[in-house]
């Protein structure tokens, strides 16, 4: 990296501006913890723990077993044992949950920089707020700025001065009707004065110079004069791979044989040079490829891992140790990618949807980004299974027959199983193939008749025979195609009134909102005072046929205002309910049986007990996360929260509305100091004799400290825990006496 002293290279794509809270080596999960143990914790993570998309990764110089990786929507994670155990290190300190770039200083591995936001952008619902720095290995973070960038693609630290840092943003356009990943002005630029001035570099044999797509660059301390370039054509395919051996003065092509070509190579765009092996290169694509010295083609490494490669670390202290990140999570190889291990302790799955099987207390389903539709039959975090592949979206289990399951994958491809998910068959008979269908097509079941389902393209379809056939019951309910190069002008949600099955609402991505009061015989537009923005949820009230709720998002337009509305006259007029909410997109709304409202937002869940007049965070046990979907079972009061990057969370609503009573504790426990630094002390008195247990728990529900005590009436009991290995954040302390929870309290560790 000495080349940075003499010049810098950066690739620019000018296509339009767009606006540790765990031990470093985690102890094992507690076995057979009763559900009551989590009372008062509100949310707990129920997995799965097998991974999700990771974009940025970095190793720590001089520490061969220490790595960081950034998850899309899941925060920054750290390992100190070469990937055996990982811990989140940004929870509770950074609002943005998506990490796009990571860099560790060569001169001091405790200095870490991270860039926030999902640079890949395809299907992105996670934006960043700039660059953060830690000087103690991830324990504390300080915001440095660049919050308007929304996505940081790469961070490079000066090799001798860690206070000099360079950050790259990949500029691109993605709006509801248009996207572009190439344009005039893109190319490779060179600076020889530390970035004060720049000169464009001409690439060989390039008829599209100045109109290129995404460009990835790589350098290596092993060959400081060499620069490697991964150049994507404006049509999305790989244009070329170039190498310069004289600091960018001249370039020559490298063979692209062996590289899997797809039409969206901009989705990857990254290339690496090994830090200690000269002329050893790696390229991200559908698969991960390697190009060795004197090679004439690329070979595939990490064969059999999940596809879509985004991150790679080759540690200089162990040349054959590679850590790879892709849409399936993190993989570790000790032999250069020939064999590998999938890290199975990371709850970073990106969920689009959540669904509770009403016929089973602990059977939950979810649609995930590029990891299919998955389910757990026990509610545990380690037994999720894939029942269908692709990008999973809405799933519905027939409440009268759990063997019948409906699910959709991207663009409304609807499938049905009648044997509990063993086999699935297409269920789109009667739906016109040339209809416009949203990436997340709405499919809903009638709340009063499980044989009846509804499906939305640009029109509403209805089936009365369990999706064996469909018939349209509406005209086009959007403002039309809308033009552009993306599918636009589609329905995004449908809601059928539980009080009146002939009362149906439909909302669209262009802000169109419609109502029928005769089962689809006629439709009328409503919502004149609603903004023309993406409708995320329409909710017909189960309590009053006149009542309906609505959430609207301007995210895809670069707007972040929360938009929540309520109508008490069938949608003729609307009252805004978003006062007091943070300015973030709202993705879903739930009305519980006790008339409380819950919102899924881009920074977690919010609750209102007064029908939206006021709101409060409902996030104990959950860090700030993009929550894409909520599902609620009024019979059990179970609520699920689907997060985009931190797997699934669960809560019992009734446990959270009734505070835990201190029945047998005569003296309220005292936690000191709070905030704590090196030690945490807890002191209390009991009114009886028996057995007690005091536990320190992180937000994933893991027991990190536990003390079992023989309690005696009238005596003061005290527990002293050291905080060695605990990273800064919020923890819970819970006291159990004679198998009854007596007290729960939060403690801040390492946070002033």
Which residue, 437, 504, 438, 508, is CA-closest to 473? 504
User: What is the pLDDT confidence band of residue 562, given thresholds at 50, 70 and 90?
Assistant: confident
Q: List, in order, residues 6 or more apart from 267 with CB less than 8 Å away.
A: 120, 122, 308
- In a shared domain, residues 574 and 682: no
- In a shared domain, residues 542 and 684: no
Mean pLDDT for 104-129 is 81
Q: How far apart are CA 298 and CA 260, in angstroms?
A: 10
The per-residue pLDDT for range 362-375, each reduced to its tens digit, is 999 999 999 999 99
Residue 564, domain member (yes or no): yes
pLDDT at 666: 54
- In a shared domain, residues 402 and 550: yes
Residue 537, domain member (yes or no): yes
CB atoms within 10 A of CB 294: 5
Percent share of the chain, pLDDT over 70: 89
Q: Cα dihedral sign for 476, 480, 484, 488?
A: negative
701: domain CATH number is 2.60.40.150
Task: State the Rg of the chain over Cα.
Answer: 27
Q: Phi and psi dihedrals of 397, rounded to 5?
A: -100, 130
Cα maximum dimension of the chain = 86
- 223 or 623: which leads in pLDDT: 223
- In a shared domain, residues 558 and 424: yes
- In what helix (H) or strand (E) does residue 656 lie, and over which residues does it extend? helix 653-657
Mean pLDDT for 596-606 is 93
Residue 276, domain member (yes or no): no
Write down which residue in 537, 569, 584 finishes a domain.
584
Token pair for 413: 């491809």
Residue 578, domain member (yes or no): yes
The per-residue pLDDT for range 483-532, each reduced to its tens digit, is 877 899 999 999 999 999 999 999 999 999 999 999 999 999 998 889 88
Count the domains in the chain. Answer: 2
User: What is the pLDDT confidence band of residue 628, given thresholds at 50, 70 and 90?
Assistant: very high
Q: Are the beta carbons of 454 and 446 closer than 8 angstroms?
A: yes
Mean pLDDT for 710-721 is 88
Q: Are the beta carbons of 128 and 170 closer than 8 angstroms?
A: no
- 126 or 383: which leads in pLDDT: 383
- Which domain covers residue 672, as residue numbers? 665-749
Write down which residue in 584, 618, 636 finishes a domain.
584
The per-residue pLDDT for range 226-236, each reduced to its tens digit, is 999 999 988 88
Write down which residue in 584, 614, 639 finishes a domain.
584
Q: List, in order, residues 6 or more apart from 249 with CB less than 8 Å away.
A: none
Q: How far apart are CA 101 and CA 169, in angstroms?
A: 10
- In a shared domain, residues 566 and 669: no
The per-residue pLDDT for range 69-90, each reduced to its tens digit, is 888 889 999 989 887 888 899 9
The per-residue pLDDT for range 40-69, each reduced to its tens digit, is 558 889 999 887 888 788 889 889 889 898
Residue 579 has pLDDT above 70, yes or no: yes
Mean pLDDT for 732-750 is 77
Residue 15 has pLDDT above 60, yes or no: no
- In a shared domain, residues 580 and 695: no
pLDDT at 661: 38
User: What is the pLDDT confidence band of residue 674, given thresholds at 50, 70 and 90?
Assistant: confident
Q: How far apart are CA 742 and CA 709, in angstroms?
A: 14
- In a shared domain, residues 377 and 495: yes
User: Which 3 state secondary structure label does DSSP give 604?
Assistant: strand
DSSP annotation of 148 reads G
pLDDT at 209: 59
Q: Are the beta carbons of 577 and 570 closer than 8 angstroms?
A: no
Residue 658 has pLDDT above 70, yes or no: no
Residue 199, domain member (yes or no): no
- In a shared domain, residues 580 and 694: no
**Where does residue 557 rank: exposed (0-12), middle (13-18), buried (19+ CB within 10 A)?**
middle
- In a shared domain, residues 405 and 538: yes
Residue 181, domain member (yes or no): no
Residue 719, domain member (yes or no): yes
Percent share of the chain, pLDDT over 90: 56
Residue 76, domain member (yes or no): no
550: domain CATH number is 2.130.10.10
- In a shared domain, residues 680 and 570: no
Token pair for 320: 């054959």
Q: How far apart are CA 283 and CA 230, in angstroms?
A: 8
Residue 96 has pLDDT above 80, yes or no: yes
């Amino acid at each position: 990296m000495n080349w940075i002293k003499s010049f810098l290279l950066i690739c620019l794509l000018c296509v339009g501006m767009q606006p540790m809270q765990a031990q470093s080596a985690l102890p094992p999960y507690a076995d057979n913890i009763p559900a009551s143990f989590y009372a008062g914790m509100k949310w707990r993570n129920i997995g799965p723990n097998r991974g999700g998309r990771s974009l940025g990764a970095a190793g720590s110089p001089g520490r061969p077993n220490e790595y960081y990786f950034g998850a899309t929507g899941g925060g920054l994670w750290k390992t100190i044992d070469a990937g055996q155990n990982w811990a989140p290190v940004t929870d509770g300190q950074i609002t943005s949950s998506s990490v796009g770039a990571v860099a560790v200083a060569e001169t001091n591995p405790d200095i870490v920089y991270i860039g926030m936001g999902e640079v890949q952008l395809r299907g992105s619902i996670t934006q960043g707020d700039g660059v953060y720095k830690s000087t103690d290995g991830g324990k504390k973070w300080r915001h440095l700025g660049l919050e308007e960038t929304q996505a940081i693609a790469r961070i490079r630290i000066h090799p001798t001065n860690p206070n000099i840092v360079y950050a790259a943003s990949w500029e691109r356009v993605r709006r509801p009707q248009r996207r572009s990943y190439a344009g005039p002005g893109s190319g490779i630029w060179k600076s020889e004065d530390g970035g004060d001035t720049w000169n464009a570099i001409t690439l060989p044999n390039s008829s599209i110079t100045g109109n290129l797509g995404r460009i990835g660059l790589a350098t290596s301390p092993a060959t400081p004069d060499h620069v490697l370039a991964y150049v994507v054509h404006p049509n999305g395919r790989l244009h070329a791979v170039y190498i310069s051996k004289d600091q960018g003065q001249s370039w020559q092509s490298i063979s692209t044989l062996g590289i899997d070509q797809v039409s969206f190579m901009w989705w990857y765009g990254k290339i690496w040079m090994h830090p200690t092996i000269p002329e050893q290169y790696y390229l991200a694509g559908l698969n991960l490829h390697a190009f060795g010295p004197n090679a004439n083609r690329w070979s595939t490494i990490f064969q059999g891992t999940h596809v879509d490669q985004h991150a790679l670390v080759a540690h200089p202290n162990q040349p054959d140790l590679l850590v790879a990140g892709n849409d399936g999570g993190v993989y570790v190889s000790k032999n250069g990618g020939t064999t590998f291990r999938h890290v199975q302790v990371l709850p970073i799955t990106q969920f689009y949807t959540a669904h509770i099987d009403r016929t089973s207390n602990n059977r939950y389903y979810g649609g995930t980004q590029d990891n299919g539709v998955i389910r757990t039959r026990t509610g545990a975090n380690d037994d999720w299974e894939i029942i269908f592949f692709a990008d999973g979206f809405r799933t519905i289990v027939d409440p009268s027959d759990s063997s019948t399951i409906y699910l959709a994958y991207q663009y409304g491809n609807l499938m049905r199983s009648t044997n509990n998910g063993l086999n699935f068959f297409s269920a789109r008979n009667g739906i016109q193939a040339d209809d416009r269908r949203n990436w997340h097509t709405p499919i809903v079941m009638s709340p009063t008749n499980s044989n009846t389902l509804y499906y939305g393209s640009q029109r509403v379809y209805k089936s009365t025979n369990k999706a064996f056939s469909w018939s349209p019951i509406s005209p086009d309910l959007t403002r039309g195609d809308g033009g552009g190069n993306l599918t636009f002008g589609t329905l995004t949600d449908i809601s059928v009134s539980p009080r009146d099955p002939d009362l149906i609402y439909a909302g669209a991505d262009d802000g169109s909102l419609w109502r029928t009061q005769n089962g689809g015989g006629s439709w009328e537009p409503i919502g004149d005072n609603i903004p023309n923005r993406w409708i995320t949820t329409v909710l017909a009230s189960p309590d009053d046929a006149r009542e309906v709720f609505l959430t609207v998002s301007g995210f895809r337009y670069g707007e972040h205002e929360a938009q929540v509305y309520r109508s008490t006259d069938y949608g003729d007029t609307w009252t805004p309910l978003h006062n007091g909410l943070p300015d973030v997109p709202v993705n879903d709304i739930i009305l519980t049986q006790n008339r409380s409202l819950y919102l899924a937002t881009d920074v977690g869940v919010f609750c209102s007990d007064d029908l939206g007049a006021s709101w409060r965070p409902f996030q104990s046990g959950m860090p700030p996360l993009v929550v894409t979907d909520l599902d609620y079972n009024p019979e059990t009061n179970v609520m699920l929260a689907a997060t985009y990057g931190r797997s699934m969370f669960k809560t019992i609503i009734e446990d959270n509305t009734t505070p835990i009573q201190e029945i047998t504790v005569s003296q309220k426990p005292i936690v000191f100091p709070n905030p704590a630094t090196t030690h945490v002390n807890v002191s209390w008195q009991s009114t009886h004799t028996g057995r007690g247990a005091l536990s320190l728990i992180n937000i994933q529900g893991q027991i990190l400290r536990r003390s079992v005590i023989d309690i005696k009436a009238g005596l003061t009991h005290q527990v002293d825990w050291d905080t060695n290995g605990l990273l800064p954040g919020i923890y819970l302390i819970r006291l159990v006496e004679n198998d009854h929870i007596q007290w729960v309290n939060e403690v801040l560790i390492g946070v002033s």
